[in-house]
Amino acid sequence: MRFDGRVDSSVIAAAHAARLVAIDPLLPPPPPLAEVGLRLTAAKGEAIAWYQETAPGMAARTWEPARRHNLEIRLAGDEQAATLGDLLDQWAGRISGAVTPGDLDAAAVVELPSRDTEAVSALVHRGFVPCSVIAARKAGRFGQAGDPDLLVRPAEPADLDVATELNMAVVRYDAPFGKVTPREDTEEALRNQLTFLLGQAAPSVWLAERAGRVVGLVHIQLPPTANWAKRYVAAPSTAYLACLGVAEDERGTGVGATLAAHAHAVIDAAGLPVTLLHHALPNPRSTPFWYSLGYRPLWTMWLRRPVVR
């Protein structure tokens, strides 16, 4: 029977929500699809597509492509790969004429729950790659203890230069994996952010020292600063681990584990049930590192960059 384009959005939304609850109890109830944007429908699914562009000078341009074509999906019933494939093809037909072929600063972006794997072949077969992950750690989970010879202390305004360089090292290391894009103003944006953070009374940035030399940095967000991340997880509140960077010649020596243990102790002492973070999925260091510390994938960003070759 040919699909006539009419769907019952409430039925699809309910089936989609029930499916996600069964897949992963850490997923929040999916909100209704936005009213603004291009609505796409299939026999057993629905999606909303929208475009966003990050203006020059904004710090977010480092962590995202400058031009994002986004698709948010609701899938119901069986044959999910076919349903998602239908929605993706409709979307591609609508946006292909609106992009410049070969534009590496434009991307088609789909975020899916990491354990919702039945339909991902539709993304793979259309040139999408799993680029980054939002990972979650429940309170009380600890990994390796780190290096007891390291000193962990709050960062101070006098540490601005070394803290900025450690942040930049993270940007440079993650850049080849597809999501992070170093810009001419990235260092300035990070420096400005750190200037603000290091001037706050409550510490949120800590440094690791070995024999008086700063060799690593960790930055965390607690509520209310981290409230933006609550939409990703079924928890009343969450912490967000914003950055962990280690000097290149100290990687693999326990600096990262030491800083993570300190950050987790602060977060757990604050009574927060979950910590979230982003990491580059293809990164051969960060993926095994974070999962050894009790994190696991919650959301996966699938990216096609450029949108059209």
In this predicted model, what pLDDT tens digit does every residue of 247-273 receive, in sequence order? 999 998 999 999 999 999 999 999 999
Which of 102, 134, 166 terminates a domain? The answer is: 134
pLDDT < 70 regions, the chain: 1-6, 57, 59
Close Cβ partners of 15 (under 8 Å, ≥ 6 residues apart): 76, 77
Tokens of 121: 């072949």
CATH of the domain at 174: 3.40.630.30
DSSP state of 225: G
Which of 105, 134, 163 terminates a domain? The answer is: 134
Residues 68 and 193 in one domain: no
Give the pLDDT of residue 122: 97
Residues 274 and 251 in one domain: yes
Q: How far apart are CA 279 and CA 134, in angstroms?
A: 7
pTM higher than the cut 0.85: yes
Which of 80, 110, 134 terminates a domain? The answer is: 134
Residues 212 and 104 in one domain: no
Q: Is residue 4 part of a domain?
A: no
Give the pLDDT of residue 6: 66
Give the pLDDT of residue 230: 95
Q: Is residue 222 part of a domain?
A: yes
109 and 303 Cβ atoms separated by less than 8 Å: yes
Close Cβ partners of 230 (under 8 Å, ≥ 6 residues apart): 28, 237, 238
b/e per residue, 77-102, with b = 16+ CB within 10 A? eebbbbbbbbbbebbbeebeeebeee
Give the pLDDT of residue 1: 33
Tokens 């973070």, residue?
A: 277
Q: Which residues pair with 110 in a beta bridge?
A: 71, 302
Residues 173 and 287 in one domain: yes
Q: Is residue 96 part of a domain?
A: yes
- Structural domains counted in the chain: 2
Residues 107 and 188 in one domain: no
Give the pLDDT of residue 2: 43
What's the sign of the alpha-carbon dihedral 223, 229, 234, 239?
A: negative
Q: Is residue 306 part of a domain?
A: no
Give the pLDDT of residue 59: 67
